[in-house]
Structure 1
Amino acid sequence: MLQSISDSAMQHQAQQTLSGKGGRTGWMVLFGPALIAAVAYVDPGNFATNIEAGSRYGYALLWVVLMSNVMAMLIQAMSARLGLATGKNLAEVIRERFPKPVVWFYWVQAEIVAIATDLAEFLGAALAFNLLFGLSMMQGAILTGIITYAALQLQRFGFRLMEIIIGAMIMAIAGGFFVELFLSHPDQGAMVKGLLLPSFPDSYAVYLATGILGATIMPHVIYLHSALSQNRISTEPSQRNKVMRYYRLDVIIGMTLAGLVNMALLALAAATFHRHGYEEIVSIGESYKMLAPLMGGNMASYIFGFALLLAGLSSSIVGTMSGQILMQGFVRFHIPIGLRRLITMVPAIVVIVLGVSEQKALVASQVILSFGIPFALIPLVKFTADKKLMGNLVNRPLLSVVGVAVCTLIIILNAYVLFYSLFE
């Protein structure tokens, strides 16, 4: 299991906060899980789908990013609620309550989704090393593996340190894109229209919207967030509602930050590429090369490249942590973190060796992710609506209904993508 994040100092400070003696900043100890989860919402897969959406359709699909982010808030709050109420993560609850064959099926499909996730993260970081420093994709992939493995070793010094490091990374990514968006002078009227008026310009836009959904609502962090919340602090049942209020605020802050980054990235592509008629600029590599001439300086490309690098490295760390949760939660099997890091590098290396377009691989990986969402979301909604399991943190009926509606919508979109892929 993940190294315990409920060390004595944090436990003490959290208890002081809950008793009203934590001071002005005492509440901050309860924050952090959602920032870890938020990293997965700004990974290289998001770069790929948002750049393609912005360059092809301008601001028209901004509403998809907004709605996906609202759904993500709901789902991640449910995940945190499950971990807090049960002291177990989603994979462990599934193992305890589902038949063994179903549990093994869940584990296999979750690992496939995790592989698709790691593929996007590794390719993104390797591409960033290639664009910024001229390394080959293979060299970049190997360097990514080394850096992420070294970062994962920091867990031995306490999980709070990992939260601070990853939080700093996502803040740097956000800062870079907000600066670039400001310099690109986006059409504010068109942005508002794209946010508030849902539309699909053509059938491919639906396929791309499902990719955005898959890149935004990440199945592996549904499992991870419940693990980050389980046993984070020891509380009496009477205190759990108060803790959940902090966790809910944590989710709102983390997911809002991730959503703003995704909106800024799509709007940047619309304001630079689409506005100047470069509607076929759909790859990350092309974006890096074209930002400098379109925005009047190399700094725009460098900011983009370093944001991509931070996104790839941080999300790869989170992806490996999620993989450990899946394996240990579903089948109670543990492998050394270094071995898992090595195994999950293989798909990305195969893609690099075969010369597959990184853009096609990235977008396809996000579509695979969207197919994994219902398998995580259905049991999450089921368990959090169970009064015997959840106690005083059970979902309100309206929340469960909304969860079912979100799951139904995702299944319908996935069915459309399957039809589109087979018959278009």
Structure 2
Amino acid sequence: MLKNTSKLLKSLGPGMIITASFIGPGTVTTMSQSGAGFGYSLLWAVLFSIIATIVLQEMIIRLSLVTREGLGEAIQDLFAHKVGKLILVCFTLIAVTIGCAAYISGDLIGTSLGASYLLHLPEHVVAPIIGLIILLIGLFGNYQILEKIMIGLMVVMGIIFITTMIIIRPDVIGILKGIFIPSLPDGSLLTVIALIGTTVVPYNFFIHSTAVHERFDSIKALRFARWDTIISISIGGIISAAVLISAARLMHGKKITSVIQLAEPLKPLLGDAAPIAISIGLFAAGLSSAIASPTGAAATISSLLKWDKGMNSKKYKTVFACIILIGMITSALGFEPLQVLLVAQALNGIILPTVAILIFIIINKKGLMGSHANNIWLNIIGGLVVLVVTFLGIYSLVDAINNFIHA
């Protein structure tokens, strides 16, 4: 028993990277605004987003361990027609690369919010410095270093946000109602979509596929890879929910423009340490997301173009460097054009349901997956998740087009 538990704990890694990836400034801000605006009532959406992420990412690890290929290779193998394959590969490359490049500036700025408060420096000065640190990690690090950094950031986020939730003594009955009795208060639909959309991230499919190959040797490790995914993403859900619950308890009815506002009501409890604690948590969330953006672009391109050596490939590191350099320059200049972000949102609105549907199709190919193909219950659960993700993608696409027209 103890031996299996120890082995399980040692196998934690790829799932932690995915979790650290989706808990970024956007997630923290969205959870804060949700709690402040709607109290505990949207906690069910957080639970659904975590279940959806676990379901989709479990399919990824199963596919990766059975085929010993990346997600990009598996998608290519699905298409016999060269033109169709080329169109899909090019579209995915463009969509993910533009998305990561467009959002990296915001990730660095989000990271700098916490650091600038602690260092008393302007955000546009701190952001490129953080970008330089990430660039060095990408160029001179390897999978093991990335995994340790992401796990460390997860620990920091967990300590800060979960401890905050415990200290403030929230309404337990209200929390349970929010989790298990779904409701949709007036004006909350966009927030629900944002809550789920910040957790289910397209490039995380490719990151996870690459990370699984780096960490696990064969299908024999599937049980441990599954537990890694379930435990890691569940911890991420608890951290996300903790932010929402804290905002609901401390800031309900107030407008939140920055998560650092959570520090103000905590001052009677933590004194001058309150803003420092929240800033450290925000910095950890931002840094994990900022590392994930270039990692996602590099993992996606590497998989689709079938580059060897994974994260140690020079080509992989080149893509990583290009994305983070874009973020460093744009964050230093304060350049975050609305049109580029709307294009990225529109592309992600297409790529998320497309990739989710393709994963669902591949995982049901018995000739490829054998006994590890989906059974009827996994198909029911997976089918529901894919339908919801498809709706989110279409809604995001329509919203981006509408905003682009009226920009």
For Structure 1 versus Structure 2, the TM-score category normalised by the shorter chain is 0.7 to 0.9
Measured against aligned partners, the alpha-carbon deviations of 1:228-280 in whole angstroms (never above 9, x if no partner) come to 12364444xxxx3x421211111111011100000000001111111xx42x1
Q: How does 1:133-212 map to 2 (within 5 A)?
A: 133-153=119-139, 155-156=141-142, 159-203=143-187, 205-212=188-195
CA distance in 1 between counterparts of 2:44 and 2:347 reads 22
Q: Tell me whether 1:393 sits opposite 2:372 in the alignment.
A: yes
Q: Tell me whether 1:124 sits opposite 2:110 in the alignment.
A: yes
1:417 CA displacement: 5.0
CA distance in 1 between counterparts of 2:393 and 2:386 reads 11
SS in 2 for 1:59: coil
Q: How does 1:210-225 map to 2 (within 5 A)?
A: 210-225=193-208
Call closer, same or farther: CA 1:351–1:313 in 2, change over 3 Å. Answer: closer
1:374–1:407 contact (8 Å) kept in structure 2: yes
Call closer, same or farther: CA 1:413–1:199 in 2, change over 3 Å. Answer: farther
1:215–1:370 contact (8 Å) kept in structure 2: no
1:322 CA displacement: 2.0
**What residue in structure 1 maps to residue 321 of structure 2?**
341
CA distance in 2 between counterparts of 1:200 and 1:75 reads 25
- The runs of 5 or more residues in structure 1 that have no matched partner are 1-19
Q: How does 1:9-408 map to 2 (within 5 A)?
A: 25-98=6-79, 99-153=85-139, 155-156=141-142, 159-203=143-187, 205-230=188-213, 232-235=215-218, 240=219, 242-274=220-252, 277-278=253-254, 280-288=255-263, 290-293=264-267, 297-332=271-306, 335=315, 337=317, 340-346=320-326, 349-350=329-330, 353-354=333-334, 372-408=351-387
Between 301-310 and 225-234, the greater mean CA deviation after superposition: 225-234
1:354 CA displacement: 4.9
1:282 CA displacement: 3.7
Call closer, same or farther: CA 1:195–1:86 in 2, change over 3 Å. Answer: same
CA distance in 1 between counterparts of 2:273 and 2:4 reads 42
CA distance in 2 between counterparts of 1:263 and 1:109 reads 30
1:307 CA displacement: 1.1
CA distance in 2 between counterparts of 1:96 and 1:219 reads 19
Q: CA RMSD in A?
A: 3.2
Measured against aligned partners, the alpha-carbon deviations of 1:159-210 in whole angstroms (never above 9, x if no partner) come to 334323321220121011111112222122211111111112123x111111
The letter for the 2-side match of 1:111 is T
Between 308-317 and 64-73, the greater mean CA deviation after superposition: 308-317
CA distance in 2 between counterparts of 1:371 and 1:134 reads 40
Call closer, same or farther: CA 1:216–1:362 in 2, change over 3 Å. Answer: farther
CA distance in 2 between counterparts of 1:25 and 1:296 reads 35
2:106–2:331 contact (8 Å) kept in structure 1: no
SS in 2 for 1:60: coil
Call closer, same or farther: CA 1:234–1:273 in 2, change over 3 Å. Answer: closer
- The runs of 5 or more residues in structure 2 that have no matched partner are 80-84, 308-313
CA distance in 2 between counterparts of 1:321 and 1:195 reads 33
Aligned residues: 391
1:119 CA displacement: 3.8
